[in-house]
Amino acid sequence: MATVQQVPLAEGLFSFPDDPHLLGSRCSQCGVHTFPRQEDCPRCSATAMEPVELATTGTLWTWTTQAFRPKTPPYLGPESDADFSPYLIGYVELPGQVKVEGRLVETTADQLTIGQQMELAIVPFRQDGDTEVVTFAFRPCA
């Protein structure tokens, strides 16, 4: 059986497979966090941004259903308009850091509540030959 190689959707967004974390930045001047990483601070314009691993759990701030296929580019999903399936997407507030937009997996709309505890998950996004492209998502905490 062939081994499937996993690669991230984009370099520098998250670490995996061991101890996955989103990779953000923190301003050493004012303390603001960003995701993804940035060179300059969006709050104070300082250039003293430090790389940080962001929290892996947070609170569901809001959510919705993505009911139509996003435009390509920038969307890189494998679906066509004909076989697109709606999916859940939301903002998860990482405590003391930043709100992150991401897919919500391993749940249904009727199981979600604002304020619910969520955790980071690394999930398959698409298959490119023998390579599985993975991305980050959030799922309800067990």
Query: pLDDT tens digits for 104-118?
Result: 999 999 999 999 999
Query: Two tokens at 42?
Result: 């969006």
Q: What is the pLDDT of residue 69?
A: 87
Residue 54 pLDDT exceeds 70? yes
Cα–Cα distance between 114 and 93 in angstroms, integer? 11
Alpha carbons within 13 A on the beta-carbon side of 30: 11
- What confidence category does residue 82 fall into, taking pLDDT thresholds of 50, 70 and 90? confident
Spatial CB neighbours of 92, under 8 Å, sequence gap ≥ 6 = 58, 59, 60, 61, 99, 100, 102, 118, 138
Give the C-alpha distances (Å, rounded to integers) separating 136 from 3, 28, 66, 79.
21, 26, 16, 18
Task: Say what the pLDDT of residue 131 is.
Answer: 93
